[in-house]
Amino acid sequence: MMELVWCICYEKAKNDMLPCSSFFRQMVKFEVKFTVYSMTVVIDELCKMGEFHKARKFMDDKFVKPNSCSYKKLLNTCIKKPDFLIVKVILRTMEKEGWDFDPKSYTLLIKRYSNFGEFGEMKRLFMEIEEKGVKPDVYLYTSMISGYCKLGNVRKAYQLFDEMTKRGLVPDGHTYGALINGLCKAGLMQEAEVLVNEMQSKGIWINRAIFNTMMDGYCKQGNVDEALRLQRIMEDEGHEPDANAYNIIATGLRKLDLHDVAKRLLLSMVDRGVAPNVLAYTSLIDIYCKQGDFVQAKRTLREMETKGIKPSTGTYNALVDGYFKHGYFIDAKRALIEIETKGVKPNTTTYTVLIDGYSKQGDFVRAKKTLIEMENNGVKPNTNTYTALIDGYCQKGMMNEAYKLRNLMESKDLIANVYTYTSLVHGECKLGKVDDALKLLNEMPTKGLVPNVVTYTALISGLSKEGRSGEAIRLYNQMIEAGVVPDAAAYSALSNASIMPRFLADNWSSKGPLANDYHET
């Protein structure tokens, strides 16, 4: 009898939730007993269909007392939702019912906070874990490491990595991948290489994603040669470059202003048997937009739609950004309207692009209006959103407004990142307040932030312009010791100093031999 009831209920749950709920009530009315297992499976099916509120109501009807598994099904669904109140309701209910959290439940929540940029909540939850005596496992540590890396706090991520190994936990490929990703984003490629070598020595498989992450890190520094070296190693180990790998190399070439070469590389993917994905098409559209070729950009957009590849919000963001940078503000607004008519919702990046565009024009009225608009539309600003506006203020020397906005951002549990500090450093240097900029540089490590090449370059330039050559050279050496690779702008900034170290001329060339493989002839 029970199996029959279960089968009928399960089939109804998949097809029609309301009759299924009524069916359960009829079961209760006729005193038919069923297990929490059958109820949990129905809840799971509702959650898979995205019917979170129905699942929640279903549980509240108390057909049978839910167990921890039932609540975890709800948690699995709510971690994908941006509404933090939903999470709090589930947590309060679980505590009221007396259900304890295990490491897996905490891991789900930490992932959720990390994914939605709620790093304050993430850190508070980890402290709660320690206080309750719950022993974090590898997965929980990996989620925390990933969260801190997203925040830009690589030092804290490294501390957690060391802490887990001291506790006898063995980092897996995902743990290494999360930390390598954070190091690459911070431009700490030497440290990332150490971890890759460590993985090899321990026999941990290095997957395509880690290779791509490393290639991306080198390309962001303009070091396409190293990225190409890694691509060859990747091929030797049996990983064929995918569309993402091509896109990464193309992005690196574009950083060297080799836009036409990057374009040819992306267009050659099809001939090499690699189908362009949405990222590759978005890169092509971005190249055309940066070159001001909006006719070809729109043509490429239509081509990807014809091939059944749905443009992402990022694709339209490239168009909006391109229009803004070329002064086509009406077209930028039209592109924004087109996003909505095609069912692609503007995201945080979309609004950030708009705010960045207005800020760079010095139109802070529209920038702030857009910030209010995005919040009214239920899109949460992140650190990058505020940093775009802060950077605009810094460019115009409006440092009081910049600091006020940083304070407002931090009051909303959004933590200033390396780009926020770099904007402030640049702003102070522009006003000739290099000592204030140096204070900001010294403050960064206390926040777990690693200054990048742009941060150092702004300060080296500021010191050089003030005739403080010795300090400029010492700061350059500090940058090298920190593992940050100087770029052309850093050397140019140092060349303004009254003393130009001989090794600069001897040891630097803007393009290495391997990058020449892609140079135009």
Q: What are the residue boundaries of the structural domains of the chain, listed by start?
A: 1-100, 109-206, 417-521
Phi-psi region of 505 (alpha: psi -120 to 50; beta: other; left: phi over 0): alpha
DSSP reduced 3-state for 277: coil
Phi-psi region of 222 (alpha: psi -120 to 50; beta: other; left: phi over 0): left
Neighbours of 448 (CB within 10 A): 17
pLDDT at position 194 is 95
pTM over 0.75: no
Nearest to 483 by CA among 509, 520, 451: 451
**Alpha helices by DSSP H, 237-293:** 243-255, 259-267, 278-290
Q: Considering Cα of 417, then 421, then 422, then 427, what sign does the dihedral take?
A: positive
Q: Is 466 exposed, middle or buried (0-12, 13-18, 19+ CB in 10 A)?
A: middle
Encoded tokens for 258: 């080799």
Domains 109-206 and 417-521 fall in the same CATH topology: yes
Give per-residue pLDDT as tens, 73-104.
Answer: 666 666 665 555 566 666 666 666 666 666 77
In degrees rounded to 5, what are phi and psi of residue 308? 80, 15
Encoded tokens for 345: 């919702």
CATH class of 417-521: mainly alpha
- The separation between the first and the last C-alpha atoms of the chain, rounded to the nearest angstrom, is 79
Torsion, Cα of 231, 233, 237, 239 (10° steps)? 0
Q: Considering Cα of 352, then 355, then 359, then 364, what sign does the dihedral take?
A: negative
- Angstrom distances, CA of residue 259 to CA of 237, 285, 448, 456: 30, 12, 35, 27
Contact 491, 502 (CB under 8 A): no
CATH 1.10.286.10 fits domain 109-206: no
Contact 192, 224 (CB under 8 A): no
Neighbours of 338 (CB within 10 A): 15
Give per-residue pLDDT as tens, 296-341.
Answer: 999 999 999 998 998 988 899 999 889 988 888 888 888 888 887 8
Taking the C-alpha atoms of residue 428 and residue 435, their distance in angstroms, rounded to an integer, is 9
Encoded tokens for 413: 């549990």
- Angstrom distances, CA of residue 49 to CA of 74, 85, 111: 12, 20, 21
Taking the C-alpha atoms of residue 429 and residue 457, their distance in angstroms, rounded to an integer, is 11
Report the residue count for the chain: 521
pLDDT at position 502 is 45
Contact 104, 139 (CB under 8 A): yes
Encoded tokens for 482: 């920190």
Q: Which residue has the tokens 């030092």?
A: 155
Neighbours of 180 (CB within 10 A): 26
Encoded tokens for 275: 């189908």
Chain centroid to CA 285: how far? 21
pLDDT at position 466 is 87
Please spell the DSSP secondary structure of 392-432, one letter per residue.
HHHHTT-HHHHHHHHHHHHHTTPPP-HHHHHHHHHHHHHTT
Q: Which residue has the tokens 């569309």?
A: 243
Nearest to 485 by CA among 253, 233, 226, 250: 226
Phi-psi region of 448 (alpha: psi -120 to 50; beta: other; left: phi over 0): left
pLDDT at position 38 is 61
Nearest to 66 by CA among 42, 36, 87: 36
pLDDT along the chain (521 residues), means of 10: 48 50 57 59 62 61 60 62 59 64 74 73 79 83 89 88 93 95 92 94 92 94 91 86 90 86 86 87 91 92 90 90 87 83 84 90 91 90 94 95 94 90 94 94 89 90 88 89 81 64 46 38 32
Q: Is 295 exposed, middle or buried (0-12, 13-18, 19+ CB in 10 A)?
A: exposed
- Angle, to 10 degrees, between the axis of helix 2-15 and the axis of helix 17-29? 150
Q: Is 468 exposed, middle or buried (0-12, 13-18, 19+ CB in 10 A)?
A: middle
pLDDT at position 48 is 61
Q: Is 364 exposed, middle or buried (0-12, 13-18, 19+ CB in 10 A)?
A: middle
